[in-house]
Amino acid sequence: QVQLVESGGGLVQAGGPLSLSCVAPGRTSSMGWFRQAPGLEREFVPAINRSGSITNYADSVKGRFTIPRDNAKNTLYLQMNSLKPEDTAVYYCAAGGSVYSTSPLEYVYWGQGTQVTVSS
């Protein structure tokens, strides 16, 4: 069982930056971030392959979010810039899917989620 632990959520003003971290117990394959706003389905944000050479972003965050990973620390990051109120959601770290997987059903391991709130 792979247990992922996210951190870094919080309240930020629109236009501001925020970074999230996700620590895995060991090295993992492709990893990704998803988010879920109240009343909505969990949606794909970005993903990255094991080596970090391939990334995949949802259109809604392209140019604003990046998803670096540090395999030496078994840590995945989500660097968010130019945040918008519509980015408000619980953000989840996931592992076990493919870098091209955009459905949450294709991921096996999940973190507990961290709240991101963007005020206007």
SS3 13: strand
Token pair, residue 37, equals 């706003």
Phi, psi of 82 (to 5 degrees): 50, 50
Predicted pLDDT of residue 53? 96
pLDDT of residue 26: 86
**What is 20-81 written as a DSSP string?**
EEEE-SS--SSEEEEEE-TTS--EEEEEE-SSSS-EEE-TTTTTTEE--EETTTTEEEEEE-
pLDDT for residue 84: 98
Residues with Cβ < 8 Å from 57, sequence gap 6 or more? 45, 46, 65, 67
Q: What is the pLDDT along the chain (120 residues), one digit of tens a residue?
A: 778 999 999 999 999 999 999 999 988 899 999 999 999 999 999 999 999 999 999 999 999 999 999 999 999 999 999 999 999 999 999 999 999 999 999 999 999 999 999 999
68 contacts 57 by C-beta, under 8 angstroms = no
Q: What is the pLDDT of residue 5?
A: 95
